[in-house]
Amino acid sequence: MGKTRKMKQELKEKRVSFFADFKTFITRGNVLDMAVGVIVGGAFTGIINALSNNILKPVINWLLALILGKDSLSEVFTFLTKAYKVTEDGITTTEIDLENSIYIDWGAFINAIINFFLIALTLFVIVRIINGIRKKLDAKEEAEKEAKKKEAEAAAALAAQKAAEAEAAQKAAEKAALEQMYANIARQTELLEKLANK
């Protein structure tokens, strides 16, 4: 009976320890930053693909049509082995069968490069903006720390000045008390001499 209670207690402690460790792991800044980055990156990929496919790709296709005579980026291939389509009658046509041909798809490669550079450029701009904001915040914090430090130094200097003034006043009071005491002694001595001469 005692063993099972002890085992239950150990299991409960392990569960609490596991969740405490998990909470510590999750609340660390790096993990949260990474999670936000992954989510934003996933959403951002759709925007970049739309920009690439719907804006840049048509412009590139138009340029390719002017330069190479090809209709679109998706038609830029280098064939290693061509396979031609065969009709139902068994006649080989002059139309290329892309499914059975071996080729290098330059259009897809160029499109991937465009997407990469767009994502890299956008991330660079975002990171640069965030770093600028962080620098401003850090400068503001530094200015606040510097202001607090100067306030503390001014307060310390004022306290030191007041302490020095208090010490000087105390010394002056002690000196005045000593002078008063010497004056009293001198008067008492004078009175004693007068009494002694009578």
pLDDT single digits (tens) 139-149: 999 999 999 99
Look at the block and give the residue holding tokens 């990156």. 41
User: Is residue 61 within 8 Å of residue 111, measured between CB atoms?
Assistant: no
Helices (H) and strands (E) in the chain, counts: 4, 4
Query: How is the chain split into domains, by residue range?
Result: 1-75, 76-163
- Stretches where the chain sits below pLDDT 70 are 1-2, 15-16, 25-29, 31-32, 70-74, 92-94
If DSSP codes are grouped into helix, strand and coil, which group holds residue 44?
helix
| pTM (global) more than 0.75 | no
How many Å apart are CA 75 and CA 120, to the nearest integer? 26
How many Å apart are CA 161 and CA 153, to the nearest integer? 12
